Amino acid sequence: MLAVLDPLASLKVLDFSRVVAGPFATRMLADLGADVVKVEPPDGDLTRLWGAKTANLSGFYTQQNVGKRNISVDLKAEGAAALMLRLGAEADIVVENYRPGVMGQFGLGYEAFAAVNPTVVMLSISGFGQNSSWSQRAAYAPIIHAESGLLGRQARFDQNSPIDPMLSIADTNAALHGLVAVLAALRLRDQEGVGQHIDMAMLNAMTVTDDYAHHALDQMPTRRLGGTVWATSEGHILTAGNEQSQWFQLSRSGAVSDGLGPDASVEDKIAVRHQVITDWYKSFPSTEQLVKALDAANVAWAEIREPEEVFTTEAAAQRRLSVEVDDRAGSTRRVVQSPYHFSNARSEVRGWAPFRGEHNQVVMTDWLGMIESEVAQLAAAGVLLEEEPGEDG
């Protein structure tokens, strides 16, 4: 029997990122087996404040940082940049999502890392790219959602005021496209022996992932291709496709008929068919009976679930949507599991969420061979910091 493999087990990742885009990318690297060391500033990652806390570890921070090791570094302290470059000399990958230019101000730009490690792959995620005229704008996911046209288009279809979705789409798009670029750069490094600096703008990631972008580029009206929500006798159900495609599928299967003659106007067809299909969805006394009819007509459907219900379904268990991890307080808590299912390799949460500076000693020993007294000197100099595990807050 073949041993199960860890795809990225030999890789070392130095992770300066915070909040979502960078941490999500490095969480996936950790799930795939890389040794990810999160470099956290003295005031901590902002996401430590978001969500339910256990052992003073928030749900948001836990979700994005399980399986990583953590060192806490004051990058403004004398000797901090030199220490980070020593770690960078050992790293395969460096990830950061500060505003463009900030890493350079610390003496930790790509050129500095490349000088000590010519084959390093550095991923820099920002809102608008490293050198654009908008590069210095503060850019969180909602900013990119607005600037990329997502909110304007949705408001147009909803015929309502723009509203931001409760999902950091721009962050996760940039993270996943950043991962693709990193893995491509590593392949090139292994073939040619050269490193890369990857400039990943959230704006680019959003537009290239937008399957409606061609309408804007061609300056033509946008036709909605997504799902449609229908009222039923027991609530609501979503089906794939717009109303026109729904009519085609249901009428072809004999489920509905408009009763109109061949000379009926387009306007009459639209109005009558809308009413017929609306009434059809409401005609079933139960969702179970409606679903059977939709399956018979080969219509793709979905229940509109509450978020808490998603993780309790049969499919959730079969696909391992969540996993229990140590909550650092004597029990466990659930986090989302890695989505990658290989035939003979592992991708999964590798451990708990770390406290700030929890792995100062072990990382300095593993990566740099430092003894305890050397690490203690760095702590005394204010370069390395460590929090005391706190009570729930």
| 3-state SS, residue 179 | helix
Rounded to whole angstroms, the Cα distance separating 97 from 198 reads 11
Give pLDDT, residue 393.
40
Among 27, 29, 39, which Cα is nearest to 7's?
29
In terms of pLDDT, which residue wins out, 109 or 249? 109
pLDDT at 391 over 50: no
At CA 81, angle to CA 178 and CA 183, rounded to 5? 20
Give pLDDT, residue 390.
59
In the chain, list all ranges with CATH 3.30.1540: 228-307
What mean pLDDT is predicted for residues 91-117?
98
Give pLDDT, residue 243.
86
What mean pLDDT is predicted for residues 53-65?
96
pLDDT at 223 over 80: no
The H or E element containing residue 72 is strand 69-73
Give pLDDT, residue 245.
86
In the chain, list all ranges with CATH 3.40.50.10540: 12-212+320-385
pLDDT at 392 over 50: no
Q: 10 Å Cβ neighbour count for 243? A: 16
Q: Which of 2-6, 248-252, 318-322, 363-367 has the lowest mean pLDDT?
A: 2-6
Assess contact for 120 and 88: CB atoms under 8 A: yes
pLDDT at 122 over 90: yes
Give pLDDT, residue 339.
96
Candidates 3.30.2310, 1.25.40, 3.40.50, 3.30.1540; correct CATH number of 228-307? 3.30.1540
Give pLDDT, residue 2.
65
Q: pLDDT > 90: what percent of the chain?
A: 89
Residue 141's φ and ψ, nearest 5 degrees, are -50, -45
Q: What residue has token string 């009926």?
A: 264
Domain boundaries 12-212+320-385, corresponding CATH code: 3.40.50.10540
At CA 192, angle to CA 189 and CA 196, rounded to 5? 40
pTM of the model: 0.92
In terms of pLDDT, which residue wins out, 212 or 184? 184
Active site residue 171: yes
Enter the tokens of residue 216: 């804007």
Give pLDDT, residue 1.
59
pLDDT at 314 over 80: yes
Catalytic residue among 31, 171, 258, 327: 171
**Longest CA span, the chain:** 91
